[in-house]
A and B are shown apart, each in its own frame.
Chain A
Amino acid sequence: MPPAIMDGPDALVNYLLVAGVLFACGIFAMISRRNAVGILMGVELILNAAGINFVAFSRFGHTKLNGQHLDGQIFTLFIIVLAAAEAVVALALVLSVFQTHKTIALDEVDEMKQ
């Protein structure tokens, strides 16, 4: 019997609310920051919001692995690993941008527009 969606402390909507707030924070961070590292942090927040959603929804799914709903959690694990790798690449890019432009403010790095 899967847990309820709307009622009780264990309801799905609570998890989704937390993930939604986290997602909104991530979007806000991405939009408001000029700093590339800040934007990267926003991206991490969005990824984590997605991870929470996966875990939450996996409890309501039908596919079971060893009697447990695990596919969403495995997805989340992949997302965490990917986020780490992405952070590495993004930070390397930021470093490279800083070396050439002496700044990491992204609105100042717009030569390609010309």
Chain B
Amino acid sequence: MNDPIYWMLPAGILLIPLVAFAIILFFGKYIDRFCDKIAIIAMSLSFVLSLTLFIAIVQDRGVQAQQNPIITSMSWMFVGGVDLQMGFLVDNLSAFMSMVVTGLATLVLIYSMFYMHGDTMYRRYFGFMCFFCFTMLGIVFASNLLMTFVFWELVGLGSYFLIGFWFYKPPVSKDHHYQELKAPYATGIDERYLSPGHAQKKAFVMNRIGDFGFLCGIGIFITVFLAAADLPGFKDIALREGPLNFDKMYAAVNRDIFEQVTLLGMTGPQLLTLAGIFTFMGAMGKSAQFPLHTWLPDAMQGPTTGSSIIHAATMVAAGVYMVARIHPLLTPGSLFFVALIGSLTAFLAATIALVQWDIKAVLAYSTISQLGYMMIGLGAGGYTAGVAHLFTHAIFKCMLFLCAGSVIHACHHLQDMNRMGGLRKKMPITFLTMLIGTLAISGVPLFSAFFSKDAILAASLARAMEMGGLHWLPPILGFITAGLTTFYMFRLVFMTFFGQPRDKHIYDHAHESPAVATVPLLILAMLCFGFWWAGGLNFPLYTMYLPGLSMTVQGAHGAVTTGWLEALITSPVPAHHSEYHEHLHHVAHVWATILSTVMLLIGLAMAFLMYIKRSINPDKLLEIAPLRHGFSLLSQLWFFDRLYQDGIVVLSKKLNWALWWFDANIIDRWLVDGWSLLVRSWSIGARWIDNNIVDGTVDAFGKGTWVMGSASRMLQAGKIQFYVCVTFGVVAVVMLALLLK
């Protein structure tokens, strides 16, 4: 029996934001002034509970918690002899993730008091944010894949609310304010359609495509594990009670006899590969992986703070978190698929980010690119690397978006970087935090992403060195992307904060944001430093609350350099590394560090030369034909949006038209109308039969009765003598008959 805090704390963490949402939803009108405070208090309460939960699980189980997650679940429904369950899963990953989600959400909510100030739907915003965090926490604590899916859909709903928060806005082609503020050469965005209302639908539909795969994956998983449930080797796992519970799935997959599971001529591992790829499709939608990534940049139509939470801890993190959850179930084949998709995503998005003019769009594409990194990490078997990058990225991307929000707010909703410049003197704190975030995302040594990104690249490099062939693609694209990341992030910082002000009017009116905005930024900036993440530094809090951990770390991995993250959040089913593999990993790590630093320096130098020194004029570069074509390709977003809009959407509209025509002209005209004609003529015949035959019979009875009545009426003459005569006559006749017989 587990300690009851392991279900009470998750329940509290989960339900407090939901209660706050309900209060704001139903009573917001009456407590207008307190809505934001309610949301912030609820979220910080959740954060405190998450912190308690994390400390509790680490003290209780330590590094063992990943291998033996604490699951408290109850029956949800019995279907076909299968008990589908709902419950809470607590391990180091979920406890830490809930801490990240609630912590970031608290800071974002505090910041929103500044950013959303004066909005007509101020109350509703805070309600939606609470709901959104509730749904994400549901995924974090879900004890089985089905429950993950339920909350997965709710996250989609939450993002729908937030992306379309300003649903009344017209498409940007009709938005004069937007047209005034946009860059003259802004291309690639289909302005006819881009609006919050369109963006939210786009996000929802793109996610549905992924979720279709997710559902198929769940179906395959449940079929495989139910097929395994009947085999003698799996009896002790009791797969029929909660076949999708993570602990049972891990246990079942880890058995050697899993290969004996066969279904439809496929063996267990083959089915797992299939299920893994399908399930990963869900993550491709949610985490905006190629080719379902196009919704994420459009989602910038929502409030910047909403984008901040979507890009950091909730929506897109859900996909990565889910892949981490099912990581032990993924076979080498599906892992390679994950890494391949991740690397393509990282590379494509980073190239698009190079040429974006909108400060939020750069960050949006950088998010997609970084999510690609996480997928590379997970796909290359670097469980901790991918998850750690999820955490570090969550923090610095949350901060970068809040900084961008601060800049946009200061520049009166201007988002075009070409008209900013020199803002570092006006907004020193925003500049400082944004610089720290940029250093972090670029992977500058001693900043957070240096460790996580290096670990990812090292893992994928080690994988490539081991497997060879196509496995080289993820690390190669990964290293190129590292350089691109540095370039576009420093381009953003240089264009916004350095140089001469390009727009005097805007520069003069720019101002630093108040403390309610800058304090969250500074807190987040603190977390971007590497010593939190590397774990090599003996931070006081760390030893105070996690005693004995370093010993465990040494016991498990033998090296002091292993960070606490690596020790605590490892794959639930650790791989058995050979000595050769360890050696390979070591070599790869050295090379990864060197190569990524080189790429970093190249990117930084390019950005410096182009946007500070101006020794390479970006406009001159465009006069070279191949570069110009490349530029237009990138600013058209590799034509993905164009392909989807003009290809798939238009084609499906044509298909819709054809189907409509078929429906109207064939189905309606011939089947429906023809049927009605048939029925009508049938009923004319039936009416004739009814009127003439059925009613005629009834009338004939009446008429016959009447005729007989009037005939017998004549006998009733009223003459006594007549009656007597008749009576006597009848008697006489009878008598005579009797006599004469």
- Name A residues whose Cβ lies closer than 8 Å to a Cβ of B: 27, 30-32, 39, 106-107, 109-110, 112-113
Please determine whether B728 and A27 come into contact, CB atoms closer than 8 angstroms.
yes
A39 touching B718 in the complex, CB below 8 Å, given contacts A27-B728, A31-B725:
no
C-alpha gap A30/B726 in the complex (Å): 12
- B688-741 with Cβ < 8 A to chain A: 716-721, 724-725, 728
Check B724 against A30 for contact (C-beta < 8 Å).
yes
Q: Are B724 and A113 in contact (CB under 8 A)?
A: no
**Cross-chain contact B720 with A113 (CB below 8 angstroms):** no
When distances are taken between beta carbons in the complex, the residues of chain A under 8 Å from B717 are 110, 113
Binding site for A on B (CB under 8 A): 716-721, 724-725, 728
Q: Which residues from chain B contact A113 at a C-beta distance below 8 Å?
A: 716-718
Residue of A whose beta carbon sits closest to that of B716: A113
**A110 and B719 within 8 A (CB):** yes
A97 to B725 alpha-carbon distance, docked (Å):
23
Which residues in A have their C-beta under 8 angstroms from that of B718?
107, 109-110, 112-113
Q: Whole-angstrom distance from the CB of B597 to the nearest CB of chain A?
A: 127
A106 partner residues in chain B, CB cutoff 8 A: 719-721
In the complex with contacts A27-B728, A31-B725, A39-B716 CB distance below 8 A: no
Q: Which of B721, B725, B728 has the most CB of A within 10 A?
A: B721
Query: Inside 8 A of B720's CB, which chain A residues have their CB?
Result: 30, 39, 106-107
Tell me the smallest distance from the CB of A29 to a CB of chain B, in Å: 10
Q: Which 4 A-B pairs have the closest CB atoms?
A: A110-B718, A113-B718, A106-B720, A30-B724
Q: Would you give the shortest CB distance from B723 to chain A, in whole angstroms?
A: 10
Chain B, Cβ-Cβ closest to A108 = B718
Whether the pair B724, A107 counts as a contact (CB closer than 8 A) is no
B721 touches A107 (CB 8 A): yes
A15 to chain B, nearest CB (A): 19
Contacts of B716 in A (CB 8 A): 113
Q: How far is the CA of A39 from the CA of B718 in the complex (A)?
A: 15
Q: How far is the CB of B36 from chain A (nearest CB, A)?
A: 97
Report the bound CA distance from A109 to B717 in whole Å.
Answer: 11
Say how far A104's CB is from chain B's closest CB, in angstroms: 12
Q: How many angstroms between the C-alpha atoms of A35 and B536 in the bound complex? A: 143
Name the one of A31, A109, A110 contacting B724, with C-beta atoms under 8 angstroms. A31
- When distances are taken between beta carbons in the complex, the residues of chain B under 8 Å from A112 are 718
Q: Is the CB of A30 within 8 A of B721?
A: yes
B-chain residues with CB within 8 Å of residue A30 when the two chains form the complex: 720-721, 724
> In whole angstroms, what is the CA distance A32 to B724 when docked?
11
- In the complex, what residue of chain B is closest to A110 when comparing beta carbons? B718
The tally of CB-CB contacts under 8 A between chains A and B is: 26
B348 to chain A, nearest CB (A): 107
Bound-complex Cα distance A35 to B262 (A): 115
CA distance A31 to B724 in the complex (A): 7
Using A31-B724, A112-B718 as known contacts, list a sample of 7 further A-B pairs with CB atoms less than 8 Å apart, ordered by residue number in A: A27-B728, A30-B721, A31-B721, A32-B721, A106-B719, A107-B721, A110-B717
A-B contact pairs, 17 of them (CB 8 A): A27-B728, A30-B724, A31-B721, A31-B725, A39-B720, A106-B719, A106-B720, A106-B721, A107-B719, A107-B720, A109-B718, A110-B717, A110-B718, A110-B719, A112-B718, A113-B717, A113-B718
A31's nearest neighbour on chain B, judged by CB, is B721
How far is it, in angstroms, between the C-alpha of A30 and the C-alpha of B720 when the chains are bound? 9
Q: Which residue of A lies closest to B721 (CB)?
A: A31
**Which one of B717, B719, B720, B725 has the highest number of Cβ atoms from chain A below 10 Å of its Cβ?**
B720
Nearest-CB residue, chain A, relative to B717: A113
Taken together as a complex, chains A and B put the C-alpha atoms of A113 and B725 apart, in Å, by 18
Kindly state the separation between the CA atoms of A27 and B724 in the bound complex, as whole angstroms.
Answer: 8
Closest residue of chain B to A34, judged by CB? B721
Which of B717, B718, B725 has the most chain A CB atoms closer than 10 A to its own CB?
B718
Find the B residue at minimum CB distance from A106: B720
Q: Which residues of A contact B728 (CB under 8 A)?
A: 27, 31
Tell me the nearest residue of chain A to B728, going by C-beta: A27
Closest partner residue, chain B, to A32 (CB atom)? B721
Report how far A39 CA is from B725 CA in the complex, Å: 13
Q: How far in angstroms is the closest Cβ of chain A from B709?
A: 14
| B-chain residues with CB within 8 Å of residue A31 when the two chains form the complex | 721, 724-725, 728
B427 to nearest A CB, angstroms? Answer: 115
Instruction: Give bound CA distance, A107 to B724, whole Å.
Output: 13
Q: Given the complex of chains A and B, what is the CA–CA distance between A112 and B716 in angstroms?
A: 9
The minimal Cβ–Cβ distance linking A53 to chain B, given in whole angstroms, is 14
* C-alpha gap A30/B728 in the complex (Å): 11
State the CA gap A31–B721 with chains docked (Å): 5
By a CB distance below 8 angstroms, the chain B residues around A107 are 718-721
A99 CB → nearest B CB, Å: 19
List A contacts of B719 (CB < 8 A): 106-107, 110
In the bound complex, CA of A109 to CA of B716 (Å) = 13
Chain B residues, Cβ within 8 Å of A109:
718
When chains A and B are docked, how far (Å) is the Cα of A107 from the Cα of B725? 14
Q: Which residue of chain A lies nearest to B719 when distances are taken between CB atoms in the complex?
A: A107
Nearest-Cβ distance from residue A64 to partner chain B, whole angstroms: 30
A43's nearest neighbour on chain B, judged by CB, is B724
A110 to B716, CA, bound (A): 10
Residues of A near B721 (CB, < 8 A) are 30-32, 106-107
- The distance in angstroms between the C-alpha atoms of A71 and B286, with both chains bound, is 118
Determine the residue in chain A with the shortest Cβ distance to B714: A113
Report how far A112 CA is from B717 CA in the complex, Å. Answer: 9
B311 CB → nearest A CB, Å: 103
Rounded to whole Å, the gap between the CB of B588 and the closest CB of chain A is: 124
Question: By CB atoms of chain B within 10 A, which of A31, A32, A109, A112 has the most?
Answer: A31
Query: Which residues from chain A contact B724 at a C-beta distance below 8 Å?
Result: 27, 30-31
A30 to B724 Cα, complex, angstroms: 7
Instruction: Select from chain B the residue with minimum beta-carbon distance to A33.
Output: B721
In angstroms, how far is the closest chain B Cβ from the Cβ of A36? Answer: 8
Q: Which partner residue on chain B sits nearest A36 by CB separation?
A: B720
**A27's closest neighbor in chain B, by CB?**
B728
A112 to B725, CA, bound (A): 20
Minimum Cβ distance to chain B for residue A40 (Å): 11
Q: In the bound complex, what is the Cα–Cα distance between A31 and B725 (angstroms)?
A: 7
Give Cα distance in the complex from A8 to B636, angstroms. 149
CB of B713 to closest CB in A, whole Å: 8
* Chain B positions within 8 Å of A27 at CB level: 724, 728
Chain B CB within 10 A, most for which of A32, A107, A112: A107
CB of A24 to closest CB in B, whole Å: 10
Q: How far is the CB of A89 from chain B (nearest CB, A)?
A: 16
